[in-house]
Amino acid sequence: MKTAVACFAFVLGCLHAADYVPIAGGTLRTALPMDGETVPVAAYQLRSKPVTNAEFLRFVLANPEWQRGKAATLYATSAYLSQWHSASDFAPHAPNAPVTNVSWFAASAYCASEGASLPSWTQWEFAAAADASRKDARNDPAWRAQILGWYEKPSVERLPDVGLHPANIYGVYDLHQLIWEWVDDFNGLFVTVDSRAQGEQKVFETCGAASLSLGDKENYAVLMRIALLAALNGQDSVGSLGFRCAKPAQ
Amino acid sequence: MSKLQFQPRFNRALLSSLLLAIGSLAAMSAWADAAADLPVETAELTAPPMVPAPIARKTPAKVIVNLTTEEVIREITPGTKYMFWTFGGTVPGKMIRVRQGDTVELHLKNLPTSKVPHNIDLHAVSGPGGGAPQTLIAPGKDATFTFKALNPGLYVYHCATAPVAMHIANGMYGMILVEPEAGMAPVDKEYYVMQGDFYTPGAFGAGGLQPFDMQRSIDENASYILFNGASNSLTGKNALTANVGDKVRLYFGSGGPNVASNFHVIGAIFDKVYHEGGLKYQEQVQTTTVPPGGSTIVEFVPKVPGNLTLVDHALSRAFHKGAIGIMSVSGEEHPEIYSKAATAKAEH
């Protein structure tokens, strides 16, 4: 943590290890209860903040195959990093703002460069259920309303820096109110794109919807995250979609 | 799901993308062959309260419909703003008009400035999901699907993305008119009006930018019940207009998500009501109910000049929640039909 703060990220030569915080794991009451209403979550480590423009620039400079214009179109569409001034200049965006317009393939490659991977959906939601003082704040209507508020605010052209909101109880920042985030298994959620189907439709494509009718249905923010992930392909980039990484527990 | 650990999904995702791409190409070319003989035209879409021109064609066509999903902040009532989610930038969304037997190729684009994914389900479609599965798109993406307009009638379309009640409560609905093969009788004025219910933490006209209130939506406790997405969309300079003796046809729908309309025009009797937007009509109707996700076509002739008032006749909605509109009628007085002066005054 202190290393990261002391390190001015726009100094490209600055070598700092990203800060990962341990999360002990436990039981998650899930909105996608395919194997029951709760799922066990093993201990893991999660990056305390989303990956920033400065960090991603270092990555593409070290790995030119992931530079804008060089990445294979199968892995990244023309929208990939299109908000950057050039392939090697994130202007006019701030170095400490989260990087967005990054495909799932590029995000996965970045995480591999940190010896990590994208978090699974369950790992992401487990950490995101917490607020500053509670591991699971999801039953608090005021907290839910505050989280939902971000989803209906217009997109902004220039995102603020990471880490401006208070950390949650694990020391993780910005799971809410800054960006959408990729998860490793985004295309394995089996959610039907028709959110109203339920009941008898037990086939894989639609069992997610059946689950939605059983799961955390008054938490609209999580339903919107599922819908967004279900709308994506691995090569897609969205201006409000970034990522962070996760590692196995030490 | 619960067994997922840290295995990278690189190869599996890549493979499924490839298979999807190959599958879509094959399906699209088969469709193109079938529809190749039809003349192609692009639909003229209209913002409410305007209605696309009647269809002059007597034979089917392939009709291209280009629709966007846009998230826009605008006034819900003077002095109070709301973040509307829309089809084409308006509430209700742009109106579509096609002919029975047409093949409709619908292109949906979610603007890059959007925050959330959207899709479209048209009630005019015969097929699971009504187009929703094919059109779920993240901000900046677009999608296309094709359907044949088999059934004539006036049909609601809406967004079906989770949480669906919120997308509809934010204004994501509109209507598509499928004219019968025989066409529709000509009239003098046609208008497009939809009722919808809106949910905010603040009461009606509380001011500022009001967010969506999930709990009030679940409780079906609307703060606003509106025609065409604003309390003043059909009043003042926005009033509908007609002349004495005009045949007027209203394409009226209820977007919901929760509240049915009891549609009434103060000062007029509906000569015909195509109940539920279907082919059969009832005559001499005062008030007609329209369920959320349903529609009606009403026809009437204003007999004298003055203001006719469109309301939901559950009148607290008209007086306190905004469900009110005006049709300003011009033309000659007809005192034998309606004497504007009170009788006592006239005798004096």
Pairing type for strands B62-77 and B40-42 reads parallel
Q: What is the pLDDT of residues B193-218, one digit of tens each?
A: 999 999 999 999 999 999 999 999 99
Query: For residue A142, is pLDDT > 50?
Result: yes
Q: How far is B138 from chain A (nearest CA, A)?
A: 5
Among A117, A148, A188, beta carbon nearest to B214 = A148
Mean pLDDT across B165-194:
97
Contact A226 B162 (CB under 8 A): yes
Cβ B77 vs Cβ B322: under 8 Å: yes
Average pLDDT, integer, range A34-59: 93
* Dist CA A25 CA A120 (whole Å): 13
Torsion of CA B35, B40, B41, B42, to 10 degrees: 60
> What phi and psi, each to the nearest 5 degrees, are found at residue B164?
-65, -35
Nearest to B210 by CA among B63, B79, B71, B46: B79
Confidence band for A155, pLDDT divided at 50, 70 and 90: confident
**Section A55-81 average pLDDT:** 97
Which of A105, A154, A220 minimises the CB distance to B115? A154
Q: What are the residue ranges spanned by the domains of chain B?
A: 39-179, 189-330
Least confident interval from A8-17, B121-130, B135-144, B235-244: A8-17
Instruction: Name which residue leads in pLDDT, B120 or B32.
Output: B120
> In this complex, how many residue pairs, one in chain A and one in chain B, have their CB atoms less than 8 Å apart?
149
Test B17 with A233 for CB contact under 8 angstroms.
Answer: yes
The secondary structure of residue B127, as a DSSP letter, is S
Is A175 part of any domain? Answer: yes
Q: For residue range B303-346, what is the model confidence (pLDDT) as tens digits?
A: 999 999 999 999 999 999 999 999 999 999 999 999 987 765 55
B220's tokens: 């079906």
Residue A206, pLDDT > 60, answer no
Rounded-to-integer distance, Cα A69 and Cα A73, Å: 9
Residues of B in contact with A108 (CB under 8 A): 8-10
Domain tally, chain A: 1
**Using a CB-CB distance cutoff of 8 angstroms, which residues of chain A are in contact with residue B212?**
148, 152
* Residue A211: pLDDT over 60: no
In the predicted structure, residue A13 carries a pLDDT above the cut 90: no
C-beta atoms surrounding B299 within 10 Å: 18
Residue A16: predicted pLDDT = 57
| Mean pLDDT within B112-134 | 93
Task: Choose the mutation target among A183, A228, A235, A247 for the interface with B, i.e. most B CBs under 10 Å.
Answer: A228
pLDDT of residue A35: 63
pLDDT tens profile B247-279: 999 999 999 999 999 999 999 999 999 998 888
Which of A13-17, A209-213, B140-144 has the least mean pLDDT? A209-213
Q: What does the alpha-carbon distance between residue B283 and residue A221 come to, in Å, rounded to a whole number? A: 47
Same fold, B39-179 and B189-330: yes
- What's the CATH fold of domain B39-179? Immunoglobulin-like (2.60.40)
Interface membership of A185 toward B (CB under 8 Å): yes
Q: Give B14's contacts in chain A (Cβ within 8 Å).
A: 74, 234
Per-residue three-class SS string for A52-78: EHHHHHHHHHHCHHHCCCCCCCCCCCC
**Predicted confidence band of residue A17 (pLDDT cuts 50, 70, 90):** confident
- Fold type of domain B189-330: Immunoglobulin-like (2.60.40)
Interior CA angle at B317 toward B311 and B320, to 5°? 115
Dist CA A57 CA B197 (whole Å):
47
Query: Tell me, what's the pLDDT at A215?
Result: 65
Could you tell me if residue A173 is inside a domain? yes
Looking at residue B247, what DSSP letter applies? Answer: -
In a domain, A159, yes or no: yes
**Non-local CB neighbours of A150 within 8 Å, separated by 6+ positions:** A176, A177, A178, A221
Domain contains A185: yes
CA neighbor of B251 nearest in space, from B185, B156, B326, B147: B156
Q: Which is higher by pLDDT, A36 or A154?
A: A154
A207 found inside a domain: yes
Alpha-carbon distance values, B114 to A87, A169, B13, B104, B270 (Å): 25, 31, 26, 25, 41
Q: What confidence tier does B24 reach under pLDDT thresholds 50, 70, 90?
A: low
Beta carbons of B117 and A231 less than 8 Å apart: yes
Better pLDDT: A149 or B81: B81
Give chain A's mean pLDDT.
Answer: 85
A55 has pLDDT over 70: yes
Whole domain around residue A79: which residue ranges?
20-248
Q: Whose structure tokens read 């955390």?
A: A216
Q: Does A104 touch chain B (CB under 8 A)?
A: yes
Q: pLDDT at position B37, please?
A: 87
How far apart are alpha carbons B8 and B13 in whole angstroms? Answer: 10
What is the structure's pLDDT at A34?
64
Check CB contact under 8 Å for A188 and B9. yes
Do the strands B324-330 and B240-243 form a parallel or antiparallel pair, or are they unpaired? Answer: parallel
**Which is higher by pLDDT, B226 or B24?**
B226
The residue in chain B having the minimum alpha-carbon distance to the alpha carbon of residue A246 is B6
Instruction: Report whether A183 contacts A120 (CB < 8 A).
Output: yes
pLDDT confidence of A157, banded at 50, 70, 90?
Answer: confident
* A211 vs B258, more confident: B258
- A193/B129 CB distance under 8 A: yes
Indicate the pLDDT class of residue B30, thresholds 50, 70 and 90: low
d(CA B6, CA A6): 30
C-beta atoms of B113 and A155 within 8 A: yes
Check residue B25 and give its pLDDT.
52
Residue A162 lies in a domain: yes
Are residues B163 and A220, on separate chains, in Cβ contact within 8 Å? yes
pLDDT tens digits along A89-133: 999 999 999 999 999 999 999 999 999 999 999 999 999 999 999
Q: Output the domain CATH number for residue A67.
A: 3.90.1580.10
Q: Which A residues in the span 44-73 are in contact with B, Cβ-Cβ below 8 Å?
A: none
Contact B302, B269 (CB under 8 A): no
Model pLDDT for residues B145-169, shown as the tens digit of each residue? 999 999 999 999 999 998 899 999 9
From chain B, the residues in CB contact with A235 under 8 A are 17
**CA–CA separation, B322 and B142 (whole Å):** 35
What confidence category does residue A195 fall into, taking pLDDT thresholds of 50, 70 and 90?
low
pLDDT (0 to 100) of residue A217: 75
